[in-house]
Amino acid sequence: MNKGQIDRLIGQVSKPVRYMGNEYNMVEKDPASVEIRFAFAFPDVYEIGMSHLGMKILYHLMNEREDTYCERVFAPWPDMETKMREANLPLFALETKDPVSEFDFLGFTLQYELSYTNVLNMLDLARIPLLARDRTLDDPFVIAGGPCAFNCEPLADFLDLVALGEGEELIGDLLDVYKQWKSEGGDRDAFLLRAARIPGIYVPKFYDVEYMDDGRVKAVTPNRDGVPSRVVKRVVKDLDRVYFPDRIIVPFMDIVHDRIMLEIFRGCTKGCRFCQAGMIYRPVRERSLETLLDLADKLIRSTGYEEISLSSLSTGDYSRLEDLVRDLMARHWSERVSLSLPSLRLDSFAREYIEQVQRVKKTGLTFAPEAGTQRLRNVINKGITQEDLSRSLTDAFGSGWNNVKLYFMIGLPTETTEDLEGIAYLARMAVDCYYGVEKNKREKGLKITISTSSFVPKPFTPFQWEPQDTIEELREKQHMLQKLLKLKHVDYSWHDPETSFLEAVMARGDRRIGQVMLTAWQNGARFDSWAEHFSLGRWMDAFTECGLDPYFYAYRKRDRDEVLPWDHIDTGVSKAFLWSEYMKALNEETTPDCRLSCTGCGVRRLGEGLC
Amino acid sequence: MRVLLEYMIGDRVRFISHLDFMRTIQRTIRRAGIPVAYSEGFNPHPKLSFGLPLPVGVTSSAEYMDIILSSPMDTEETKDLLNTHLPRGIAVTAAVGISPSAPSLMSLIKRADYRITLDTALPGLESGIQSFLQQAEIPYDKPGKKGVNRINIRDSVFSVEAGRDARREILVSMKTGGSSSVKPEVIAEKIAELAGVEAHVKMELTIHRTGLYMHYDGRWVTPLMLKEG
C-alpha cells in the first residue's frame, strides 16, 4: 500500500492528524542509510503517547545515532483499526509510513497495566507473531520498558526482551550488541543470549517458572548458562551528563500534556508506602539549576511552546525550586511563557511560589493528602499533617485561587469508617479555610473537588503482600463518601472499582496471566483504560476459560516467605526493606524522608556515590 | 504594525484542523522571535486573526491571516523568519503591511475557489456540470444546529467548470459565509449525481482551495490588495 492510499484511509477516520506525522522537529532520515530501524510504540492513542517524556527522550537519543532511525507508532483508535483491517493495511510508523514488521526492533513502553491488550493488538495489526517463540529472523525483536516492565510476567510470552530501569545508557549498549550480532549472523537466540548479558536486560524465555499445587510460584530459575539469576535495573548516575533532548516534537493536535516537560530530578525520598514510582525510581538524582535553565532556553527556542512544566515525582522537594521558578519567570516572561508546577507537595508549598506562578497563569491547584486521618497517613507514610494542609489552603485562597482539588485513596490497608469520615472532615476544613480569608482578598466562586482513586497494591512496594478491597467494598465506601460529601461548594468524583480490580490482577500477575490476556483480547478487549471500551465481563470469561482465579491475584494476602513472581527482578530496593516498611505500616509507624538520614533501602548497592 | 500574510497548506499537513493551525502559528512566531503584540491579562494571547478556516483534509495555495507586531519589522524579513521556523508543508508566500483600521479578513472574504479531483474518472462529468448550471433551483438539506435546513445550492456557487482533466476535475467558485454556503464536496456530489452516479455511492475526492477573494471596486481581488502605500 502506498502513501497516497494510506492518506486516503486516514481521511476517513476521526482525528486523522493522529496518524499524519510530519510535526515540527520530527526526525527525517533515509531508511536505506541506517543499519537499525527502531519503532518506538506507545500502546495507547497519539495524544496520550505523545505526552510521555520517556518517549521523547529515547526517540531523540536514538536518532542522534547515525546508524539508527527511530520512528513512532501509537495504538490506532478502534475506527482506524477497523479501516486498517478492511483495507489490509498493516501497522505503520508515523515517520515513513513503512510497516513496523520491517523494522529491527519494536519497543513498547509499559506505563500502565490496562494498556497490555493494546500491545497484543498492535502486534497483531503489525502481523508480527504474538508469541515470542513463534517469531523468526524475518520478524523484529519485541522489547518493552517503562515502570510496568519491572513486573512484566503477564506479558512475558509476548516479549523477546525487557529493559529494566533507565534507558538512556542501556539502549546504546543494546543497539551496539545488535549491530555486532547482525554483522556476524546467527539465530535469534544468539542475539538474545548476548543481550541478556547487558546489565538491565531481561530475556523472559531464559527463565523457567515452577508453580506449587496451590498456584503460588515455587521458583524462577535461569535455563541457560551466562544468564544472571537476578536482573538488576539500570540507573543513570549523573543527570547533568546524561542525554536530554534540546528539541522535541511539537504536535499539531492538542495532546494531554502539551508543553515542555523539564525533568528536574528522578527518584523520590519521601517513601510513601503505596507508591511504586517512589520505590522503583530510587535514588534521588537532581539536575543542576544551570543545566535546567540552559535546557529551558533551548527548548523554548526550538519548540515555541508557551508553557513549561517542572517534572518529577515531588517537585516541591527540588533543592533549588525557589531559584529555578524565579529565574525561569525572569527569563521567559517577555515571551509570555508560563510555568506550571504539578504534584506540588503540601509541606514544601510556600506562598511565594504561588505568587510567582500566578504572574502568568492561574490554573486549579491540586493537593494529595491521600488519606483522611493522621493515623492512616502514618500507615502509608504520607508525611502531611492537617495543619500543613490548612496553612497551604489558606495561602492559596488568600492568593486568589478558588478552585482546589484534593486527591485521596480509598481501600488503603487498615482503613476504617473513621478514615473515610476524615476525608469529609478535610473537605469541610477546606471550605472553612476559604471563608477564613478576608472577603476582599478571596476570589468568588469556591469549588473544592474531592477525588478518590482505589488503592491497587503494586509489586516492589511495602504493600505488595496486601490484598485489595473487593469491588463491593470499594463501591460501599464510594456510596458512603457520596453521602458524606453532599456539601456546598464540594464535588466528589471517584474511579470505577472494576478497572482498579483488573489493574491489581495484572500488576501482581504471573506468566499464566498471559493466556488470559490473549483470550480476553481475542474476545475483543483493547483500550481497557478507556471506560467506553472496558468490559469486566469479557475478562471474567477469559479467566474462566483459562481456569484461573483472578481473586487469587487481587484479594489474597501473601506470606513473608512466598516467592513473588517478580522476585528475580532487582530494583535495588531490597525485599527485606519492603517487609520492614510493611510491618511499620501496620504498627502506624512512620519512616522519615531518607534525605535526612539513610533508611537502608538497599539502592546504594547499585553504585558508588549514587546517594 | 499590522502585517497580512498569505500562506499555503500542503499535502503533508492536510489533516490539521483550524485550531491545530492556530496553535502551530503561535509557536512558530515564538520560535522565529517575531515581535508579536500580546493581549493584556492573566492569559495573554498573541494578536492574530484569521481568514476563512480551511476544512480538515483540504490543501490550499492561498490562505490569509494577519498579525499585530509590537515593534516594526520588515515584511520580507517577517516572511523569511516564519518560513525558516514553520513545519514543512506550511509556507508563507507573501507578507504585506496593511492599515491597522482595515476590516477583518473574516468579514472581507466573500469567495473561495476549489479544485476538486475525483479519484476515478467520470466520463459524464462535463455534462453533469452543464446540467448543474442550467438548473435554477437545486435543493439540498443542509444539516444545522436546529435540524436540517432546505437551501438552494445553485445559489451558493458563482461558477463551475471542468478542469484540465475534464473527466476528473471540477473547478468551483463558491460564496462564503451566509446561510446558503456549503462544503465543496456537496457540489461535487451533486454534479456526480447529475452525471449519472447513484446518490449513495461514496466518491473519493481530493480537494484543494486555489484562492480566497474579496470584492473591491467591482472586481474580485485577493486580500493582498489591502497593502498600504
| pLDDT per position as a tens digit, A75-127 | 999 999 999 999 999 999 999 999 999 999 999 999 999 999 999 999 999 99
Q: Distance from first CA to last CA of chain A, Å, rounded?
A: 53
Q: Which of A17, A300, A360 sits opposite B20 (nearest CB)?
A: A17
Does the distance separating the beta carbons of B20 and A362 come in below 8 Å? no
Indicate whether A116 belongs to any domain.
yes
**B2-107 to CATH, choices 3.20.20.120, 3.40.1160.10, 3.40.50.300, 3.30.70.580:** 3.30.70.580
- Report which DSSP code applies to A556: P
Min distance A447 CA to chain B CA atoms (Å): 20
| pLDDT per position as a tens digit, A33-65 | 999 999 999 999 999 999 999 999 999 999 999
Question: Looking at residue A54, which CATH number applies to its domain?
Answer: 3.40.50.280
Q: Which of A7, A306, A362 sits opposite B30 (nearest CB)?
A: A306
Do the beta carbons of residue B101 and residue B160 sit within 8 Å?
A: no
Residues B104-132, mean pLDDT to the nearest whole number:
94
Does the distance separating the beta carbons of A250 and B42 come in below 8 Å? no
Question: Looking at residue A378, which CATH number applies to its domain?
Answer: 3.80.30.20
Indicate whether A519 belongs to any domain.
no
Count CA atoms within 13 Å of residue A602 on its CB side: 17
| pLDDT per position as a tens digit, A227-267 | 999 999 999 999 999 999 999 999 999 999 999 999 999 99
Does the distance separating the beta carbons of A24 and B24 come in below 8 Å? yes
Query: Grid coordinates 520492614 are at which residue?
Result: A580
Does the distance separating the beta carbons of A22 and B20 come in below 8 Å? no
Residues A425-440, mean pLDDT to the nearest whole number:
96
The predicted structure's pLDDT at residue A488: 95
Give the least confident one: A333-337, A491-495, A562-566, B146-150.
A333-337
Min distance B198 CA to chain A CA atoms (Å): 20
Question: How many residue pairs bridge chain A and chain B with CB atoms within 8 Å of each other?
Answer: 76
My answer on whether A51 and A110 are in the same domain is: yes
Question: In the numeric block, which cell numbers belong to residue A353?
Answer: 511560589
Query: Which residues on neighbouring strands pair with residue B112, listed in sequence order?
Result: B174, B212
Nearest 5°: CA angle at B207, between B203 and B210?
155
My answer on whether A211 and A327 are in the same domain is: no
Chain A residues in contact with B17 (beta carbon < 8 A): 17, 253
Residue B57 touches partner A, C-beta closer than 8 Å: yes
| Residue A357 pLDDT class (50, 70, 90 cuts) | low
Chain B: residue nearest A8 by CA? B204
Chain B: residue nearest A297 by CA? B31
| Residue B179 pLDDT class (50, 70, 90 cuts) | confident
CA B10 to chain CA centroid, Å, is 13
| Residue B35 pLDDT class (50, 70, 90 cuts) | very high
Give the least confident one: A69-78, A315-324, B116-125.
A315-324
- Residues spanned by the domain of A291: 260-495+572-586
Interface test with B, best of A6, A14, A17, A333 (most B CBs within 10 A): A17
Interface test with A, best of B12, B13, B14, B15 (most A CBs within 10 A): B15
My answer on whether A282 and A172 are in the same domain is: no
My answer on whether A168 and A67 are in the same domain is: yes
My answer on whether A305 and A451 are in the same domain is: yes
My answer on whether A301 and A203 are in the same domain is: no
What residues contact residue B213 under an 8 Å CB cut-off, 6+ apart? B109, B110, B111, B112, B113, B220, B221, B222
The predicted structure's pLDDT at residue A596: 87
My answer on whether A81 and A178 are in the same domain is: yes
Give the B window 184-213 contacts with A, CB below 8 Å.
Answer: 204
Interface test with B, best of A336, A339, A357, A403 (most B CBs within 10 A): A336
Examine the pLDDT at A348 and tell me if it is beyond 60: no
- pTM of the predicted model as reported, rounded to 2 decimal places: 0.94
- As for the ipTM of the complex, it is 0.92
Indicate whether A551 belongs to any domain.
no
Examine the pLDDT at B24 and tell me if it is beyond 80: yes
Question: In the numeric block, which cell numbers belong to residue B223?
Answer: 486580500
The predicted structure's pLDDT at residue A408: 97
Examine the pLDDT at A344 and tell me if it is beyond 70: no
My answer on whether A225 and A264 are in the same domain is: no
Nearest Cα to Cα of residue A110 among A71, A68, A66, A167: A167
Min distance B65 CA to chain A CA atoms (Å): 18
Measured CA to CA in angstroms, residue A57 lies from A51, A244, A248, A356, B147 at distances of: 12, 6, 8, 29, 49
Residue B19 touches partner A, C-beta closer than 8 Å: yes
The predicted structure's pLDDT at residue A316: 81
Indicate whether A565 belongs to any domain.
no
The per-residue DSSP string of A404-433 comes to EEEEEEES-TT--HHHHHHHHHHHHHHHHH
Give the least confident one: A241-255, A332-346, B4-18.
A332-346
Give the least confident one: A171-185, A479-493, B85-99, B166-180.
B166-180
Is beta strand B90-98 parallel, antiparallel or unpaired with respect to B48-50? unpaired
Chain A residues in contact with B16 (beta carbon < 8 A): 17, 20, 252-253
Indicate whether A606 belongs to any domain.
no
Our count of domains for chain A comes to: 2
My answer on whether A328 and A470 are in the same domain is: yes
Mean pLDDT, chain A, as a whole number? 94
Chain A residues in contact with B23 (beta carbon < 8 A): 252, 254
Chain A residues in contact with B29 (beta carbon < 8 A): 304
Residues A131-157, mean pLDDT to the nearest whole number:
98
Examine the pLDDT at A569 and tell me if it is beyond 50: yes
The per-residue DSSP string of B71-126 comes to S---HHHHHHHHHHHSPTTEEEEEEEEE-TTSPPHHHHEEEEEEEEEESS--TTHH
Query: Grid coordinates 445553485 are at which residue?
Result: B154
Examine the pLDDT at A278 and tell me if it is beyond 50: yes
Nearest Cα to Cα of residue A164 among A215, A231, A107: A231
For residue B107, which phi and psi values (nearest 5 degrees)?
-80, -25
Indicate whether A546 belongs to any domain.
no
Examine the pLDDT at B83 and tell me if it is beyond 50: yes
Does the distance separating the beta carbons of A22 and B12 come in below 8 Å? yes
Q: Which of A10, A22, A358 sits opposite B87 (nearest CB)?
A: A22
Does the distance separating the beta carbons of A10 and B13 come in below 8 Å? no
Query: According to CATH, where is 3.30.70.580 located in chain B?
Result: 2-107
